[in-house]
Amino acid sequence: MADAHAKQHDYHIIDPSPWPALGAVAAFVLAVGGIGWMQYLKGNVDFSLLGIPLATPWLFFIGLALVLYVMFAWWSDTIREAHEGHHTRVVSIHLRYGMIMFIASEVMFFAAWFWAFFDASLFPNEAQQVLRAEYTGGVWPPKSIEVLDPFHLPLYNTIILLLSGTTITWAHHALLHDDRKGLVWGLAITVALGVLFSFVQVYEYAHAPFAFKQSIYGATFFMATGFHGFHVFIGTVFLIVCLLRAMAGHFTPKQHFGFEAAAWYWHFVDVVWLFLFAAIYVWGSSGGTIAAH
C-alpha cells in the first residue's frame, strides 16, 4: 500500500492554501486604503464606499499589515516545502522561470519611467505645451533648474552598488563551495552596502535643488530614481532574510533558490542603476547649471 501512494513524478501538487485568496483581499484593502488616504489629505471627508467612510489613513495600514502577513506566511510555507523535499529539479526550474518573468515585468516598469524622462528631455517644448510644465527655454535641463553634480553623490552610490554586486557574487561562490563563513560575510557586507546606498540617496533627495512638483524635470527625475530606490530597499530586505536563513543553515550548495532569486534581483537593481546614472544623472544634466554641494 505504501508503494501505491509513492510519488511517481517530479511535480509538486501543493496543499490547499488560504494565501492566494487572503492576498487578493489584502491587496484590495491596501489599494482602497491608499485612495482613502489621498482623499483624506485632500480634505475630502465625504469619500466612502457603500456608505462606509474611507477618508482615513488607517485602512491603508491595515491593508499593508495584511499584505506583509500574507507574504511572510506564504513564503514560510514555500521554505517548509523546500525542506520537506518537494522542490524537485522540475519544480526548481519552474521557480526560476517565475523569477525571470517577475524581473522582466520590473524591466517594463522601468522602461515606462525612462520613456517619460526621454520624452520630456528630447522634446522639451512639447512637454511644456502638453503638460503645461515650467518654462524650459527649449533646452534640457530647463533653464530654471539647477541640477545635481553626477560625479559627486551619484558616482559615490554607483561605486557602492558595484561593490555590492561583487560581494553578493562572492557570497554565491562561497555557498556553491559550502563555505558558510564566506556566505554569511558576503551577505552581511552586501546588506551594509545596500543600507549605505539608501542613506546616501535620502541625503541627496533632502538636499536636491529642485522639487518633485511644479517641475517636469523634478517629476521625471524623482519617479525614475525613487522607483529604483524603492527596489534597493526591497532588495535589501530580501538579502536580510537570506542572511538570517544562511545563519540558520538553510541553504545548501545544491538547493538555494531563495538566495539565487535574491542575487538575481540585486544584480538587476545594479544594472538598472548604471542606466539611470548614465542617462539621467550624466546625460540628463549635461549643459545644465550644477548646484553647489
The per-residue pLDDT for range 159-170, each reduced to its tens digit, is: 999 999 999 999
The Cα-based distances of 97 to 94, 197, 224, 228, 276 in angstroms read: 5, 29, 27, 23, 26
- Using the predicted structure, report yes or no on whether residue 217 has a pLDDT greater than 80: yes
User: Mean of the per-residue pLDDT values for the chain?
Assistant: 88
pLDDT beyond 70 at 14: yes
Give the C-alpha separation, 211 to 219, whole Å. Answer: 8
Beta strands, E only, the chain: 48-49, 52-53, 146-147, 289-290
Residue 114 grid cell:
525612462
Banded model confidence at residue 131, pLDDT cuts 50, 70, 90: low
Query: CA–CA distance from 236 to each of 59, 60, 98, 241 (Å)?
Result: 27, 23, 20, 9
Band the pLDDT of 132: cuts 50, 70, 90: low
Phi, psi angles (nearest 5°) of residue 48: -150, 170
Residue of higher predicted confidence among 82 and 282: 282
Give mean pLDDT, residues 260-274: 96
Tens-digit pLDDT profile for residues 23-56: 999 999 999 999 989 888 888 877 777 777 788 8
**Residue from 200, 165, 156 nearest 186 by CA:** 165
Say if CB 122 and CB 279 are below 8 A apart. no
pLDDT for res 285: 87
Q: What is the pLDDT of residues 170-188, one digit of tens each?
A: 999 999 999 999 999 999 9
pLDDT of residue 82: 84
Which of 104-108, 213-217, 249-253 is most confident? 104-108
290, pLDDT greater than 90: no
What gap in Å lies between CA 190 and CA 164, rounded to an integer?
Answer: 5
Residue with C-alpha cell 564566506?
182
Which range (114-128, 205-219, 276-290) has the least confidence?
A: 114-128
The residue behind cell 533648474 is: 145
Structure-block grid coordinates of residue 48: 466612502
Contacts of 4 (CB under 8 A, 6+ apart): none
Please indicate, yes or no, whether the overall pTM of this predicted structure exceeds 0.85.
Answer: yes
Comparing 149 with 87, which gets the higher pLDDT? 149
The secondary structure of the chain in percent helix, strand, coil, rounded to multiples of 5, reads 70, 5, 25
Nearest Cα to Cα of residue 263 among 235, 228, 234: 235
CA 92 vs CA 69, 98, 122, 168: distances in Å: 25, 10, 44, 21
C-alpha triplet 279, 285, 286: angle, nearest 5°:
95
Range among 6-15, 111-120, 246-255, 265-274 with highest mean pLDDT value: 265-274
Give the model's confidence band at 12: pLDDT under 50 very low, under 70 low, under 90 confident, else very high: confident
Q: Is the dihedral of CA 71, 171, 88, 94 positive or negative?
A: positive
Q: What distances in angstroms separate CA 277 from CA 79, 143, 185, 188, one per listed residue?
A: 36, 21, 28, 25
Radius of gyration in angstroms for the set of CA atoms belonging to the chain, rounded to a whole number: 23
pLDDT recorded at residue 27: 96
Residue 226 is predicted with a pLDDT of 95
Instruction: Please give the Cα distance from 155 to 150 (Å, whole number).
Output: 6
Kindly give, in sequence order, each residue whose CB lies less than 8 Å from that of residue 212, ignoring residues fewer than 6 positions away. 218, 219, 222
* Grid coordinates given for 144: 530654471
**Listed ranges 209-218, 221-230, 282-291; the one with the highest mean pLDDT:** 221-230
Comparing 245 with 89, the larger pLDDT belongs to: 245
Q: What is the pLDDT of residue 1?
A: 45
What is the C-alpha to C-alpha distance for residues 125 and 109, in angstroms, rounded to an integer? Answer: 25
Map out the domains of the chain with their CATH numbers. 11-86 (1.10.287.70), 88-290 (1.20.120.80)
Cell representation of residue 75: 513564503
- Specify the pLDDT at position 129: 55
Angle among Cα 223, 127, 124 to the nearest 5 degrees reads 95
Does 86 or 5 have the greater pLDDT score? 86
Judge whether residue 2 has pLDDT over 80: no
